[in-house]
Structure 1
Amino acid sequence: MPIGLPADADVLRKHSTWFVTYGVIMILLGAFAIIAPGVATLAVTLMVGWLLLIGGAFGLFAVISGGTSAPGFWWNLLTTAVYFLAGLAVLTRPITGVLTLTLILAAYLLAGGVFRIMMGMGYRTHAPNAWFWLLLSGVIDIVLAVIIMSGLPGTAIWVIGLLVGINLLMMGFSILMVALAVRRAAS
Structure 2
Amino acid sequence: MSINKPDIGQMRRLVTTSLHEHWVLFLVEGIILVVLGLVAIVIPPIATLAVEILLGWVFLISGIAGLITTFWMRQAPGFWWSLISAILGIAAGIVLLLWPLSGILSLTLVLIAYFVIEGVASIMFALEHKQELSGRWGWMLASGIVDLILAAIILLGLPGTAAWVLGLLVGINMVFGGSALIAMALHARDIGPRSAAPAH
TM over 0.5: yes
Q: Which amino acid aligns with 2:136?
A: A
Q: Which amino acid aligns with 2:46?
A: V
SS at match of 1:152: coil
Give the match for residue 101 of structure 1. 107
Bigger radius of gyration among the two: 2
State whether structure 2 residue 153 is matched by structure 1 residue 143: no
How do 1:61-80 and structure 2 match up within 5 A? 61-67=68-74, 69-80=75-86
Q: CA deviation at 1:181?
A: 2.4
Task: Determine which of 113, 116, 121 is the counterpart of 1:115.
Answer: 121
SS at match of 2:133: coil
How do 1:167-178 and structure 2 match up within 5 A? 167-178=173-184
Higher alpha-carbon deviation: 95-104 or 73-82: 73-82
Q: Which amino acid aligns with 1:20?
A: L
SS at match of 2:54: helix
Question: 4+ residue runs of structure 1 moved beyond 6 angstroms?
Answer: none
How do 1:155-174 and structure 2 match up within 5 A? 155-174=161-180
Deviation per CA, 1:61-115: give whole Å up to 9, x if none. Answer: 2222333x53222222112111111111111001100010011011001101100
User: Distance in 2 between the 1:110 and 1:77 partners?
Assistant: 32
State whether structure 2 residue 117 is matched by structure 1 residue 133: no
Q: Percent of aligned pairs with the same residue?
A: 41
Alpha-carbon RMSD? 1.6
Number of positions where the alignment pairs a residue of Structure 1 with one of Structure 2: 182
Length-normalised TM-score, structure 2: 0.85
Q: CA deviation at 1:185?
A: 4.7
Length-normalised TM-score, structure 1: 0.91
User: Distance in 1 between the 2:35 and 2:158 partners?
Assistant: 28
Unpaired runs of at least 5, structure 1 = none
